[in-house]
């Protein structure tokens, strides 16, 4: 099986590449290296697996994308603009990276002739602000309308330019399965975290909180800090991508909500408490107004992935965060340079 991973030098992409290369698959990563620090991931992969192919290209370059997609059986499409804040500052660049970039992947798959499988990393942001009454319980908010989390049947409500561009790409993916019979699968990911994540204030909040705290820098919390997210350790996500690929002809055209679920949900303030215990020190925080597009509570209902793919998250938050902390302590220089 030949796998092309766009954005393959990034956090999720490099873990997927590492996993599939360790399973003796043929992997090509395609990345424009626009994210600071990802050359380090590419160097790590090429040292560990000299047979990997690394292509420096932008997904907006249709001619190259078309040539590369034609040579692969599977495309895992992760490349794109990844932050809500950046999308608000530059909506055109966000649109071009996420909508045109994804459209290029799908057109390349359609024109390839052999119907390669295409897996897409979408986002919980496609559900927008969400209905329901928000109540405060201890250090966290809770949404009374979603006791088991948000399922795939929840109406879409794209919010923020990032929500719109990811949502448009998500719907194109879904439709290319219906209209052209391309086996596409959309994974609407909540917060993914883990080792090698170069989290910054604009994206990768859990890693950002951990890194700032480790370096004793002031941490800004936008909003009250009671906002809740479900968090999923990277290894659990990688297993899900593998399950999807093993079942691709059964699940082509499906959409799955992906996250840690209720059992792996944290408010920002709960994370601070956990990090303070782990690091055995007080963390400096300040508060600023809530940012646009920020949901008060988002927790995924992952029962569809459990039912259809027999997948469920396994790594408890504390274990995953501890693994990330151990990695961060061993890679301080890298983190100081790139985050």
Active site residues: 162
Site for ligand NAD in 91-110 (CB under 6 A): 97, 101
Site for ligand NAD in 44-73 (CB under 6 A): 58-60
Q: Which burial class, exposed, middle or buried, applies to 84 when counting CB atoms under 10 A from its CB (0-12, 13-18, 19+)?
A: buried
How far apart CA 119 and CA 210 sit, in angstroms, is 30
Residue showing tokens 């090509």: 28
**Residue 121 near ligand NAD by CB under 6 A:** yes
Q: Residue 290: left if φ>0, alpha if ψ -120 to 50, beta else—which one?
A: beta
Q: Rule CB under 6 A: choose which of 5, 82, 221, 283 binds ligand NAD.
A: 82
Range in contact with ligand NAD (rule: CB under 6 A) among 5-13, 84-92, 103-111, 298-306: 5-13
Q: Which residue is nearest to ligand NAD (CB)?
A: 10
Q: Could you tell me how many residues of this chain bind ligand NAD (CB under 6 A)? A: 28
**DSSP letter string, 87-102:** HHH-HHHHHIIIIIHH
Which residue's CB is nearer to ligand NAD, number 74 or number 133?
A: 74
- Quick one: which of 303, 296, 302 has its CA closest to 142? 296
Tokens of 51: 């047979």
User: Cβ 11 to ligand NAD, closest distance in Å?
Assistant: 4
Range in contact with ligand NAD (rule: CB under 6 A) among 25-33, 127-135, 143-151, 319-327: 25-33
**Residue 173 near ligand NAD by CB under 6 A:** no
- Quick one: which of 56, 173, 51 has its CA closest to 117? 173
User: Cβ 32 to ligand NAD, closest distance in Å?
Assistant: 4
User: What residues contact 40, with CB distance under 8 A and at least 6 apart?
Assistant: 334, 338
The 10 Å CB-count burial string (b at 16+, else e) for 257-269 is bbbbbbebbbbbb
- Quick one: which of 81, 135, 85 has its CA closest to 292? 85
Under a CB-based contact definition with an 8 Å cutoff, are residues 243 and 311 in contact? yes
Q: Rule CB under 6 A: choose which of 3, 4, 5, 7 binds ligand NAD.
A: 7
**Residue 12 near ligand NAD by CB under 6 A:** yes
Q: Rule CB under 6 A: choose which of 19, 26, 33, 107 binds ligand NAD.
A: 33
User: Cβ 135 to ligand NAD, closest distance in Å?
Assistant: 26
Range in contact with ligand NAD (rule: CB under 6 A) among 184-192, 211-219, 298-306, 314-322: 184-192
Under a CB-based contact definition with an 8 Å cutoff, are residues 4 and 69 in contact? yes
User: Cβ 181 to ligand NAD, closest distance in Å?
Assistant: 24
Kind of pairing between the strands at 265-267 and 228-233 = antiparallel
**DSSP letter string, 79-134:** -S---HHHHHH-HHHHHIIIIIHHHHHHHHHHHHSS--EEEEEEEGGGGTT--S-E
**Residue 31 near ligand NAD by CB under 6 A:** yes
**Residue 123 near ligand NAD by CB under 6 A:** yes
Q: Rule CB under 6 A: choose which of 54, 79, 119, 186 binds ligand NAD.
A: 79
**Residue 248 near ligand NAD by CB under 6 A:** no
Rounded to 5 degrees, φ, ψ at 19 are -65, -50
Site for ligand NAD in 193-212 (CB under 6 A): 204
Binding site for ligand NAD (CB under 6 A): 6-7, 9-13, 31-35, 38, 58-60, 78-80, 82, 97, 101, 121, 123, 189, 191-192, 204
């Amino acid at each position: 099986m030949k796998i092309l991973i766009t954005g393959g030098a990034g956090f999720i992409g490099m873990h997927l590449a590492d996993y599939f290369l360790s399973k003796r698959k043929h992997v090509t990563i395609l990345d424009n290296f626009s994210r600071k620090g990802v050359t380090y991931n590419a160097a790590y992969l090429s040292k560990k697996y000299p047979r990997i192919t690394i292509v420096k290209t932008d997904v907006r370059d249709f001619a190259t994308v078309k040539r590369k997609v034609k040579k692969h059986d599977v495309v895992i499409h992760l490349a794109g603009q990844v932050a809500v804040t950046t999308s608000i500052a530059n909506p055109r660049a966000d649109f071009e990276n996420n909508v045109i970039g994804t459209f290029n992947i799908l057109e390349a798959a359609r024109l390839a002739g052999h119907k390669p499988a295409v897996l897409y990393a979408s986002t919980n942001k496609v559900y927008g602000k969400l209905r329901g009454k928000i109540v405060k319980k201890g250090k966290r908010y809770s949404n009374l309308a979603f006791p088991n989390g948000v399922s795939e049947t929840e109406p879409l409500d794209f919010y923020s330019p990032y929500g719109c561009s990811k949502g448009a790409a998500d719907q194109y993916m879904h439709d290319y399965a219906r209209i052209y019979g391309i086996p596409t699968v959309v994974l609407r990911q909540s917060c993914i975290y883990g080792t090698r994540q170069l989290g910054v204030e604009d994206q990768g909040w859990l890693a950002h909180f951990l890194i700032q705290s480790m370096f004793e820098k002031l941490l800004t919390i936008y909003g009250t800090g009671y906002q809740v997210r479900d968090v999923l350790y990277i290894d659990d996500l990688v297993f899900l991508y593998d399950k999807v690929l093993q079942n691709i002809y059964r699940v082509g055209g499906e959409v799955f909500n992906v996250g840690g679920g209720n059992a792996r949900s944290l408010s920002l303030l709960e994370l601070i408490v956990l990090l303070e215990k782990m690091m055995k020190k007080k963390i400096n925080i300040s508060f600023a107004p809530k940012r646009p597009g920020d949901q008060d509570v988002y927790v995924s209902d992952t029962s569809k992935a459990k039912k259809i793919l027999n997948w469920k998250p396994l790594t408890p938050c504390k274990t995953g965060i501890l693994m990330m902390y151990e990695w961060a302590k061993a890679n301080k220089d890298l983190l100081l340079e790139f985050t």
